[in-house]
Amino acid sequence: MNTNIVKETAKELGMTYKELAEEIGLSEGSIKRLASAKEVNDQVVKSLELLKEAMEYREVKKAIIPLRKLLEE
């Protein structure tokens, strides 16, 4: 089964289409249309890939900050 990358990314990141749209600079309507499209253009795919990387970085950063503070004590 070929899953739509917009649906997949929203589910993976636990975001609504509105939140996803805000993160990559599109309207909620555009994201909804893309979520039901058979194909998604390369720019959107790249934006979603970069968003996933950024979200991973944010999570790592959140985990490191308390460790850094602990090490500084």
Alpha helices (H) in 1-73, listed in sequence order:
5-13, 17-24, 28-35, 42-72
Q: Which domain holds residue 36?
A: 5-72
Residue 62 CA to residue 56 CA, distance in Å, equals: 10
Going by C-alpha positions, the residue among 24, 66, 45 that lies closest to residue 15 is 24
Domain containing residue 17: CATH number: 1.10.260
pLDDT bracket for residue 2 (50, 70, 90)? low
Domain count, the chain: 1
Cβ pair 28, 18 in contact under 8 A: yes
What pLDDT is attached to residue 65?
A: 83
Convert the pLDDT of each residue in 5-42 to its tens digit. Answer: 999 999 999 999 999 999 999 999 999 999 999 999 99
